[in-house]
């Protein structure tokens, strides 16, 4: 997208979310513009969903507009600038709602709205909101993890090929520098997310990676730099936030600038050194040991379960809560064995979408949506297909999960047979994961197994959806061209149940 197009997209979104005065805060993750609203009723959902750049919306603790990777990082600054400019000038008049969607899109939107009403209460539990806050700590780190992971893969390739040996040490430093200090960034973001002073969280977390901790004997346990990893940094920064808040409450204002930072670092630092580093280190080791044991002993079954359940996690927005586990595994072994298996869920989604495309040859609106979303789907960005196609249709979402389960079982089986591999970074999926793959059985075998898993996911997702994804009546009612008469009440009654346990409070129509 050009700068003008990004600004035009932001300008189109702003009035449809209630204008600048309705915006409390703005943020973004890998694919979504996340807005905290003052008044949810001011949002014009249908007009917003009709915008060409909008792939879908998710209503959660924030109002999330799915724009896709790359695009969201460019649109968000333009959106922030427009909000700032509009607040200093006269408020603009709200834009008129866009034209009505074709009937098939409205039908799916109505189905998604019913799903939202049935599930909204279940998806706002304190536990799920806490997990999302944890995910918010790690999401800003993903670009660095991706960049360093790709450089690590390039460095490994050059090392194995014995090419340009003078460059290899430099690449190793680039790839490892961020990972060696990731605990500091985690601590900084943790304090920021939970209402503390960000730099104090980073300062306490820095204790974990400081080389001098190797000289400390904590209750008979010799500490080592990095012990506890990101989990220790997370816990240390959470503790620092609580200590800081206590100090702000009780320390006199005249002494606050001196006493509060000192007590925060001192108390949290002592607890970290003489407790949290050891405990978090044991937890981190247990995570690595369990992941290795799980795939070594029950690889096929474990892969089936993980691959089959990951799409519902994505649908619920909880998949980012797995980032601390992935990061811990990368710290320990250099790669996360879970990510290639979880990526199979995206393969099942792609296969299901292709089946829907061929199953509904006369439905131009759904086919156009699939054609526009498939490239992102092949690269591992499944949200446009989930929210725009399979979830509103109901059954195709389940059959996509079946495809993901089959692909996960395929990859898990090879882990069980001794060919373990993983991803050196998190974030990418699908085809975009190939440059990040690493394993102990050679790059050729690793790529072949991962590609085989994708193929299985595509094929099973396609077959399951094509043969079992629609009832005959639903297929007939949806298989209409624009201009055909509206869907009958009977076809509406045949749409998937709104009380399905695998649905989410998301209503995204197909354009």
pLDDT attached to residue 448: 96
Q: How far apart are CA 336 and CA 291, in angstroms?
A: 9
**Per-residue DSSP letter, 272:** I
Q: 10 Å Cβ neighbour count for 443? A: 16
pLDDT attached to residue 483: 52
pTM (predicted TM-score):
0.74
Is 29 among the residues known to form the active site?
Answer: yes
pLDDT attached to residue 2: 65
Catalytic member of 29, 148, 247, 401: 29
Q: With contact defined as beta carbons under 8 Å apart, do 326 and 426 qualify?
A: yes
Q: How far apart are CA 280 and CA 28, in angstroms?
A: 30
Positive or negative torsion for Cα 384, 390, 392, 398: negative
Which residue is associated with the tokens 């034209």? 99
Which is nearest to 318 in space by CA: 187, 125, 72?
Answer: 125
Which residue is associated with the tokens 């600054």? 77
- Between the alpha carbon of residue 258 and those of residues 244, 264, 338, the distances in Å are 12, 11, 45
pLDDT by residue for the chain (511 residues), tens only, comes to 567 889 999 999 999 999 999 999 898 877 789 898 999 889 998 899 889 888 878 877 789 898 877 788 889 999 999 998 888 875 444 544 544 444 354 555 445 444 544 445 555 567 777 877 888 898 888 888 888 888 888 888 888 788 999 999 999 999 889 989 999 999 999 999 999 999 999 999 999 999 999 999 988 888 999 999 999 999 999 999 999 999 999 999 889 999 999 999 999 999 999 999 999 999 999 999 999 899 999 989 999 999 999 988 876 666 767 888 998 999 888 899 999 999 999 999 999 999 999 999 988 888 988 888 898 889 888 877 887 788 888 899 999 999 999 999 999 999 999 999 999 888 788 998 998 899 888 889 999 999 999 999 999 999 999 999 998 888 888 887 655 544 444 444 444 443 333 333 333 333 3
pLDDT attached to residue 488: 43
Q: Helices in 382-482 by DSSP H: which ranges?
A: 383-385, 391-393, 395-416, 443-468, 472-478
pLDDT attached to residue 98: 45
**Do you know the residue count of the chain?**
511
With 0-12 / 13-18 / 19 or more C-beta atoms within 10 angstroms meaning exposed / middle / buried, residue 500 is: middle
pLDDT attached to residue 130: 81
């Amino acid at each position: 997208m050009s700068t003008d197009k990004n600004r035009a997209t932001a300008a189109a979104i702003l009035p449809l979310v209630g204008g600048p005065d309705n915006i409390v805060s703005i943020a973004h993750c890998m694919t979504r513009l996340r807005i905290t609203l003052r008044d949810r009723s001011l949002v014009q959902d249908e007009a917003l969903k009709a915008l060409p750049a909008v792939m879908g919306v998710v209503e959660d603790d924030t109002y999330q507009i799915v724009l896709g990777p790359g695009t969201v990082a460019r649109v968000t600054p333009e959106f922030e600038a427009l909000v700032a400019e509009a607040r200093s000038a006269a408020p603009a008049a709200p834009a008129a709602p866009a034209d009505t969607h074709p009937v098939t899109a409205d039908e799916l939107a109505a189905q998604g709205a019913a799903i939202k009403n049935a599930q909204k209460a279940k998806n706002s539990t304190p536990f799920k909101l806490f997990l999302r806050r944890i995910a918010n700590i790690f999401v800003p780190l993903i670009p660095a993890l991706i960049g360093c992971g790709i450089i690590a893969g390039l460095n490994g390739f050059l090392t194995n090929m014995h090419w340009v040996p003078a460059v290899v040490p430099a690449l190793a430093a680039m790839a490892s520098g961020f990972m060696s200090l990731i605990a500091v960034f985690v601590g900084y973001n943790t304090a920021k997310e939970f209402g503390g002073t960000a730099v104090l969280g980073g300062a306490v977390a820095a204790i974990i990676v400081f080389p001098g901790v190797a000289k400390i004997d904590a209750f008979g346990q010799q500490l080592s730099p990095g012990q506890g990893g990101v989990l220790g940094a997370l816990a240390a920064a959470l503790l620092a936030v609580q200590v800081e808040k206590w100090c702000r409450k009780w320390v006199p204002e005249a002494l606050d600038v001196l006493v509060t930072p000192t007590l925060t670092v001192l108390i949290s630092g002592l607890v970290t050194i003489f407790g949290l580093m050891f405990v978090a280190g044991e937890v981190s080791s247990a995570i690595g040991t369990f992941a290795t044991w799980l795939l070594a002993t029950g690889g096929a079954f474990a892969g089936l379960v993980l691959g089959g359940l990951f799409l519902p996690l994505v649908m619920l927005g909880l998949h980012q809560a797995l980032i601390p586990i992935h990061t811990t595994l990368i710290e320990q072994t250099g790669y996360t064995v879970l990510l290639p298996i979880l990526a199979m869920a995206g393969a099942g989604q792609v296969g299901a979408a292709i089946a829907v495309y061929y199953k509904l040859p006369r439905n131009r609106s759904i086919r156009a949506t699939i054609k526009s979303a498939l490239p992102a789907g092949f690269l591992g960005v499944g949200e446009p297909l989930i929210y725009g196609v399979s979830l509103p249709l109901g059954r195709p979402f389940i059959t996509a999960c079946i495809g993901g389960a089959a692909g996960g079982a395929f990859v898990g089986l090879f882990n069980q047979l001794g060919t373990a591999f993983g991803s050196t970074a998190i974030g990418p999926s699908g085809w975009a994961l190939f440059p990040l793959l690493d394993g102990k059985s050679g790059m050729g075998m690793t790529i072949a197994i991962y590609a085989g898993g994708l193929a299985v996911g595509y094929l099973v997702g396609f077959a399951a959806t094509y043969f079992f994804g629609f009832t005959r009546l639903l297929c007939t009612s949806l298989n209409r061209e624009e201009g055909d008469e509206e869907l009958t009440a009977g076809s509406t009654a045949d749409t998937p149940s709104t009380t399905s346990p695998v649905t989410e409070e998301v209503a995204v129509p197909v354009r």
